[in-house]
Structure 1
Amino acid sequence: MDTRFPFVDWFRNSSPYINAHRGRTFVILVEGEAVAKGRGEQLIQDLALLHTLGVRLVVVFGIRPQVHQALGEAGITPRRHQGRWVADEAVMAQVERIAAERRLWLEARLSLGLPNTPLHGVEMTVVSGNLVMAKPLGVRDGVDFDRSGEVRRVRAQAIQGLLDQGALVVLPPLGFSSTGEVFDLEAAEVAQHAAMGLSADKLILLGEASGLFDHSGQLQRQLTPDDAESLLAQADPEGELARHLGAACAASRHGVARTHLLSWHDHDALLGELFTRDGVGTMITRHRYEQLRPAELGDIGGLLELLDPLERRGMLVPRSRERLEYEIDDYVVIDRDGMIIGCAALHTFGEATMGELACVAVHVGYRGGARGELLLAEIERRARQRRLEALFALTTHTTHWFFEHGFRLAETEELPPLKREAYNHARKSKILVKPLA
């Protein structure tokens, strides 16, 4: 295959996601550390690309490191309590100044259209304003937080109107009260409430961490909110990961379809997460990204694509579209974000007490993850529901896998009569049987 332009193959594979993301609403948090460490330009280019592809974007930006630097230069040491600084007038003056500077910088970069730049020819309307309403944290443990606040609500209808007009909406970590005050807010909280208020399709949190990892250091690519919250208890309660994880879990439970934890250190993280099937970070969702389910007629195309290479290698008996349609109720599939990556079938034979485990297949890119065992367990469950006493399988290539899962060699005489008559002696398939008692 010609590989002079490897990006072309990636572009072809990303096309389903380009189509799926068009018209969707994403809320994206970019922490201030990303800009402080020189990642701002690249991220802005990626945001502009998403906008040109039809994604409705709300961008929330953090300013913590910039404010810390400004406070140090001004000789101001803020009091801290419960993970927040007390935003008195001196602190708040720096917060407001830095937030305004960062917003103007972001708007300027998103307006860049010079030749030989990634945004050449792209005109974007960037809008900010009094779109987040806030309330004071008040007095806690005897500490008056002054102008440190929390989100009361986002003006979702106003933001939706701006998105409908094709604008990219920018939200600083500031909120406004009905009495005309300005409050310092946590950027992650602003992003969480914006995503919840808009019922966003995605909340994407770009921070230091590349996602969530288990005790062995394995990246957890997909978690439910319950799974993620068990890890939240282990995180530093005042750290960024705890803020991001708390926001992600809350948003997931309040109507946001998918939340993503990514690292701004990875130059490819944002686009890699959105335009590849497996992504690069951790996704938190109430809905299963990969699920085992009964097959449907709409899966026929995916089944044919999955089975074709195995049939061409002689590992499976060819199955026509018509046969798959006729037998579709016999099949279970593993669906990974719309792609069929595994399947198996249970065929029965009238009054026979033995069923056939057939067409066990897992996509070559997803082997080694116990998906074959998952399919076998589901077929065994179905067989027991139908009061079958045993399963049999015919194979020419994978005898040892069946041995490892409780099957034994058998003779044709043990097969149900209908299958015995149809047995292809020229193929010389091994017959394996597993009792279900």
Structure 2
Amino acid sequence: MKSMDNNINNVKWFRNAAPYINAHRGKTVVLMFGGEAVLHPNFANIIHDISLLRSLGVKLVVVHGARPQIEERMAQRDIERKIEKNVRITDAETLVAVKDATGSLRLHIEALLSTGLVNSPMHGSQIRVSTGNFVIAKPMGVRDGVDYKYTGVVRRIDSDGINMQLNYGSIVLLSPIGYSPTGEVFNLALEDVAAQTAIALKADKLITFTEDEGLIDNTGELIKSCSVRTVKTLLDEKDCHVRQLLLRAIIQSGENGVERCHCISYQSDTALLQELFTRDGAGTLIAKDHKELIAVASIDDVAGILELIQPLEEEGVLVKRSRELLEVEIGRFIVLKKEDVIIACAALYPYPEVATGEVACVVIHPDYRNGNRGERVMQAVELEAKMQGLSSLFLLTTVSGHWFREQGFIEKNLDALPEGKKQMYNFQRNSQVFIKHI
């Protein structure tokens, strides 16, 4: 019986994942992980999931790091470690260790991606892996009197060459190594290669792997979703250099055209698929900053909200609100503005005694309903609810039940409402009740 239940759950998961699978087919995704991820026991699962993504039609560029492997090679050769302002100085001896470490690691990853053995998750697959001199680099040069020698920065990404391989169906594998037009080799930062590659390819996503679940806020909690603007607030010079590089790669990508960045854990054997193919994800989703601003409403927004909601009040879709009531409740509203014009809104009425809150007055201007503005407003409402210590949200609707189902709400009966709201229920309107746990 338990086996049958598991099979049913698997089928349900697959059905729920189908829209996400279709949405990602043909998209270009850059994946970035450091040498620490390769050393972790879970890395084989990540590799199998990467192969699975390719089999589902996702165009993949994999960028790997090699910091611990380089350190190991240097220790074996008794090469002195030279760091200046958190950047490795790559002299001729160090460059030999860098070439050895990155070359061996690239071959190791390439071999894993080629796995098609019986009993492996990708049995029977024929996935090609392409590597090459796609990263053109230049020396970092002399900075503040320090010569960084063979440490370099990305000068250009051969996007045409990479796209050609992606169109052939290959996974493109890039190492933190770059080549100059004069034939020199430079040691590069993984994060620089990944960000510049995502930007040059106009990638749909940059997915970064880290030790943590995702991006962690100052209280130690996982950030489920945020904007690039929020990531900037997380930058702290006291953080380790690797975390700073990670955050800067996400910021740079988001500010230069990459619509979505994800940060997930390399320690989880489900994080990659869960992040891409489920509504709630597994790590942190970072969206490109929009010129449209989401904020808690102020008294100056009353007129704009009234203008937005008036047509729906006249149709009977919304319960009519007076200006006086709206002025009193204005702090409950979250608004989305485009050039100071309110184009969407929603309100949150908390019931702290039962750790829930009512979502009300969700409205998107008719001219702006083709984007994801409704989803963005609902995400802001959920974030506000969590900050208030609420664990669920409920709402009443007469016409938009299908849309709220898409946002993760589940239809319930009247008894699921808090007692206070139940007593106020208008049987004449006969609204549907929806609840979502957050």
Q: TM-score, normalised by structure 2?
A: 0.69
Partner SS, residue 18 of structure 1: helix
Q: How far apart are the structure 1 equivalents of 2:124 and 2:17? A: 23
Structure 2 vs 1, CA of residues 145 and 200 (structure 1 numbering), >3 Å: closer, same or farther?
Answer: same
Q: Distance in 2 between matches of 1:399 and 1:78?
A: 63
- Match in the other structure for 1:388: none
C-alpha displacement of 1:213: 2.5
Secondary structure of 1:170 counterpart: strand
Are the equivalent residues in 2 in contact too, given 1:202–1:260 (CA < 8 A)? yes
Measured in 2, the distance between the counterparts of 1:369 and 1:279 equals 23
Aligned to 1:267: 269
Could you give the per-residue CA deviations for residues 105-142 of structure 1, whole angstroms, max 9, x where no partner exists? 12222222222222211001111111011111111121
Any unmatched runs of 5+ in structure 2? 295-308, 327-345, 349-353, 365-396, 399-412, 431-438
Q: Please tell me whether the aligned partners of residues 229 and 289 of structure 2 are also in contact (alpha carbons under 8 angstroms).
A: no
- Report the residue type matching 1:176 in the other structure: Y
One-letter amino acid of the counterpart of residue 281, structure 1: G
Shift of 1:16: 0.9
- Measured in 2, the distance between the counterparts of 1:192 and 1:214 equals 22
286, 289, 293: which is aligned to 2:288? 286
1:81 corresponds, among 79, 84, 88, to 84
* Other structure's SS at 2:61 match: strand
Residue 372 of structure 1 is matched in structure 2 by 358
Which residue of structure 2 lines up, in the alignment, with residue 253 of structure 1?
Answer: 255
Amino acid at match of 1:119: M
- CA RMSD across the alignment: 3.8
1:240 counterpart residue number: 242
CA distance in 1, matches of 2:135, 2:311: 51
Q: How does 1:408-423 map to 2 (within 5 A)?
A: none
In 2, Cα distance between the equivalents of 1:50 and 1:151? 27
Q: CA deviation at 1:345?
A: 4.2
Unmatched 5+ residue regions in structure 1?
A: 293-326, 332-343, 363-367, 380-392, 411-418, 428-437
* 1:68 paired to 2:77: no
- Name the SS for the 1:190 alignment partner: helix
Amino acid at match of 2:169: G
After superposition, residues 191-270 of structure 1 pair within 5 angstroms as 191-233=194-236, 236=239, 238-270=240-272
For residue 173 of structure 2, give the secondary structure of its aligned residue in structure 1: strand
Q: Distance in 2 between matches of 1:90 and 1:233?
A: 33
User: What is the SS of the residue equivalent to 2:318?
Assistant: strand
- Would the alpha carbon gap of residues 353 and 91 (structure 1) be closer, same or farther in structure 2, given more than 3 Å must change? closer
- The 1:347–1:99 alpha-carbon spacing in structure 2 relative to 1, beyond 3 Å, is same
Return the alpha-carbon distance in structure 1 between the equivalents of residues 102 and 73 of structure 2. 12
Partner of 2:43: 40
Q: Residue 361 of structure 1: CA displacement? A: 12
TM-fit CA distance, 1:47? 0.6
Structure 1 position 401, deviation (Å): 5.0
Report the 3-state secondary structure (helix = DSSP H, G, I; strand = E; otherwise coil) of the residue aligned with 1:59.
strand
**8 Å Cα contact 1:79-1:85 kept in structure 2:** yes
Instruction: Tell whether 2:53 aligns with 1:50.
Output: yes
Equivalent of 2:116 in 109, 113, 116: 113
Matched, 1:157 2:157: no
Conserved? CA contact 1:235–1:242, under 8 Å: no
Q: How far has the Cα of 1:65 moved from its partner?
A: 0.7
User: 2:305 maps to which residue?
Assistant: none
Instruction: Report deviation, 1:149.
Output: 0.5
Question: Contact 2:176–2:189 (CA<8 Å) still a contact in 1?
Answer: yes
| 1:369–1:51 distance in 2 versus 1, CA, 3 Å | farther
Change (3 A) 1:24 1:352: closer
Is the 1:134–1:151 Cα contact (8 Å) retained in structure 2?
Answer: yes
Give the CA deviation at 1:218.
2.4
Structure 1 or 2, whichever has the larger Rg, is 1
Measure how far apart 1:38 and its partner are.
Answer: 2.7
What letter corresponds to residue 330 of structure 1 in structure 2?
L
Partner secondary structure for residue 124 of structure 2: coil
Matched position secondary structure for 1:279: coil
Counterpart CA distance in 2 for 1:82 and 1:245 is: 17
CA distance in structure 2 between the aligned counterparts of 1:282 and 1:57, rounded to whole angstroms: 20
Counting aligned pairs with the same residue, the percent is: 36
Q: CA deviation at 1:220?
A: 1.1
Residue 346 in structure 1 maps to residue 332 in structure 2:
no
For residue 51 of structure 1, what is the amino acid of its counterpart?
A: R
Q: Is the 8 A contact 1:67 1:98 kept in 2?
A: yes
Partner of 2:145: 142
The number of equivalent residue pairs is: 340
- Measured after TM superposition, the shift of residue 370 of structure 1 is 7.2
2 CA distance for matches of 1:193 and 1:54? Answer: 23
Question: What is the SS of the residue equivalent to 1:278?
Answer: coil
Q: CA deviation at 1:11?
A: 1.4
Q: Which amino acid in the other structure matches residue 166 of structure 2?
A: L
